[in-house]
Chain A
Amino acid sequence: MTAATLEPEGAPALPGNNLGRLICLTLFTPVRRQWLPVLSAALWIAKWVPFAQRHILQFNFIHFVRWTVVRELPFAGPREERDRLNYGYLFFESNFDGPWQHYIDAFAYCIPQDIRFVWGRGPAFPYPPPAEPLKKWIAMNSMEGGSYYCAYPESSTRMVMSAVAVKDALGDFVASSADLGPDEFKTRYDQFLSRLQNHL
């Protein structure tokens, strides 16, 4: 397996990374050991702060995203034979509506401080903006190959969120309209569709 070379914008991902509309981006990048406690603490705090969660998901093309601080690689053999690394590593996996090249500009220009804080604890990180060096860095670090699965590969994040909103609203409407006469039902039905317009 080799790290990806920088593909032209919009180029299809390799098969191990994509399925339908979805792309899985995996990065495994070094973190200087003295920064591991700070990074771990920041990620832990972000888990419990609602604002941070909203901030992370403000770009509505991400289904699932995870960060894992890896101090050392798990090893089931004799301890002396384990890999001893100079750095800790940050395992990052994002499942999103691809291709990622389209979104890096948004990351580089809208949330550069977050990007710098999380990944800037490692050597030779290209602090954005501008976006181009960051794109090259992501392409260089993207761990390719393997196989990828998603239960709803043809549905974008927005489609899933809309579908969930429709399901909730439909349940409410069915319950609240059960006893309405025809004319009142039609009026409420039109209002219902109008409210859901952005989700249909």
Chain B
Amino acid sequence: MGESRDRTGTAYALTVITAISPGQVEEVRKVIEGVPRGVSSPLAKLGTVHTSRLQIFDHLVYQGAPQKRDQLRWDYLVFTAAFDGHDLDPFLDSIVDQIPDEADSWWRHCLAYPGLKDRTAFKKWIRDNQVHTSLFAVASPNRSVPEVLESLALRERLVEFAIANQNQQTSAAELRERFRSAFGGEV
């Protein structure tokens, strides 16, 4: 299925490029620019997405001579995501199950979009419009979103603990007990 190209470690790089129906580009622009950011983003609800971008390609940049100019007949909605997963199917299922209205709002203006009710048709449509990654590199390739978030919180807790217990007057026994109480479950 060519999906091995899209994976590095436990992360999957999805790129979907869909032609926007004639006359709909400004509506799509309004929708994607209105997508809530940060923790309010619908993509945050999925819990598996590291990064994602929605954008419109409505032109191709002319590089100057000697390029033969390329002009687009169609506008395109480009959706990318780096998510935890070995396969695309479970990710698409999570979109259908958890953020159907939001996904519908940005894809429903695209050509031949079948909607989300017919899950099989939706998955096929995404796959038909997917461009497989040639190379995908990840700084921490085997760490899921929950694990990264947990690690960041743990690091912060350890820094706080180290600062709070750097007093030389803390006895070794006290230090050990405090440490076990704070981190005893972190094995």
Contact = CB atoms under 8 A, between A and B. Distances in A.
Nearest to B84: A151
B158 A73 contact: no
A64 B129 contact: no
A199 B57 contact: no
B72, B76, B155, B187, most chain A CB atoms within 10 A: B155
B162 A200 contact: yes
A3 B73 contact: no
Interface in A1-54: 1-3, 16, 19-20, 22, 24, 26, 28-30, 39-40, 43-44, 46-47, 53
A74 B74 CA distance: 11
Contacts of B150: 167
B4 to A, nearest CB: 9
Q: Which residue among B50, B139, B140, B154 has the maximum number of chain A CB atoms within 10 Å of its CB?
A: B139
Interface residues of B, number: 86
B167 interface: no
Interface in A152-200: 152-153, 155, 157, 159-164, 166-167, 170-171, 174-175, 180, 182-183, 185-186, 189, 193, 196, 199-200
Nearest to B21: A77
Given A28-B60, A43-B135, A83-B73, A163 B15 contact: no
Interface in B106-130: 110-112, 125, 128-130
A124 B63 CA distance: 6
B169 interface: no
A95 interface: yes
Task: Tell me what chain A mostly uses at the interface: helix, strand, loop, or mixed.
Answer: mixed
A148 interface: yes
Contact of B151 (A22, A87, A148, A167): A167
A66 B159 contact: no
A122 B137 contact: no
Given A29-B61, A152-B149, A167 B155 contact: yes
B67 A123 contact: yes
Interface in B1-31: 5, 8, 11, 13, 15-19, 29
B175 to A, nearest CB: 6
Contacts of A153: 38
A146 B56 contact: yes
Given A87-B70, A174-B187, A200 B158 contact: yes
B32 interface: yes
A144 B70 CA distance: 19
Given A26-B53, A76-B125, A185-B175, 9 more contacts: A1-B29, A3-B59, A68-B132, A91-B131, A141-B61, A145-B55, A148-B51, A163-B148, A167-B151
* The 7 nearest A-B residue pairs measured at CB: A146-B55, A76-B112, A182-B172, A163-B151, A123-B67, A43-B134, A186-B172
